[in-house]
């Protein structure tokens, strides 16, 4: 898909019936060769975990998009543009979710039924703000606006 077509699609409202696997979301294993000039200019937040290395991942996403609950190793995410809402559970609490439903559908369908004690920790990060996510913590994200962000995975 040409980048211009992706951006045009990105600016359309999120379809509530869309499966998570059908949602266009530019994020993940970015090719450092293609994005090298961006990453070379990026000044990461001054956070470090001893004995780890950093791997960057650049993302562009439309309002209402996000990633459903998942977990991995530690890292942090910084918003460059827009706002990103985070939902987090500690490793010992597996959230109620369908892996191929969008975070927006989870927020509208499942979240309202959760008793207060079963609700996740939540926050919204804005441009220049950073969120650290520990290893094995369940987390899902919802872009409240068209968003640009960089995540740093520590390994």
Is it the case that residue 12 has pLDDT exceeding 70?
A: no
Q: Where are the alpha helices (DSSP H) in the chain?
A: 3-10, 32-41, 103-109
What integer pLDDT is reported at residue 37 of this predicted model?
75
* Domain residue limits at 53: 3-154
The answer to whether residues 66 and 143 touch, using CB atoms and an 8 Å cutoff, is: yes
How many domains, in total, are found in the chain?
1
User: Quick one: which H or E segment has residue 3?
Assistant: helix 3-10
At 95, the pLDDT band (50, 70, 90 cuts) reads very high
Instruction: Compute the average pLDDT of residues 66-70.
Output: 91
Average pLDDT, the chain: 85
Label the pairing between strands 54-61 and 75-81. unpaired
At 10, the pLDDT band (50, 70, 90 cuts) reads low
Look up the CATH number of the domain holding residue 111. 2.60.120.650
In angstroms, the CA 77 to CA 49 distance is: 15
In angstroms, the CA 99 to CA 76 distance is: 22
Instruction: Give percent above pLDDT 90 in the chain.
Output: 48
What integer pLDDT is reported at residue 78 of this predicted model?
96
The answer to whether residues 76 and 41 touch, using CB atoms and an 8 Å cutoff, is: no
Question: The tokens of 41 are what?
Answer: 């200019």
The secondary structure of residue 34, as a DSSP letter, is H
């Amino acid at each position: 898909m040409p980048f211009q077509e992706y951006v045009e699609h990105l600016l359309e409202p999120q379809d509530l019936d869309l499966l998570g696997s059908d949602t266009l979301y530019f994020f993940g294993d970015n090719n450092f060769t293609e994005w090298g000039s961006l990453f070379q200019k990026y000044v990461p937040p001054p956070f470090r975990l001893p004995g780890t290395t950093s791997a960057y991942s650049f993302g562009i996403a439309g309002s209402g998009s996000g990633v459903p609950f998942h977990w991995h190793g530690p890292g942090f995410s910084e918003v460059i543009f827009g706002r990103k809402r985070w939902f987090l559970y500690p490793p010992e609490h597996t959230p109620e979710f369908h892996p191929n439903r969008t975070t927006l559908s989870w927020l509208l369908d499942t979240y309202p039924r959760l008793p207060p004690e079963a609700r996740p920790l939540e926050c919204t990060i804005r441009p220049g703000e950073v969120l650290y996510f520990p290893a094995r913590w369940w987390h899902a994200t919802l872009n409240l606006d068209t968003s640009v962000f960089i995540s740093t995975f520590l390994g």
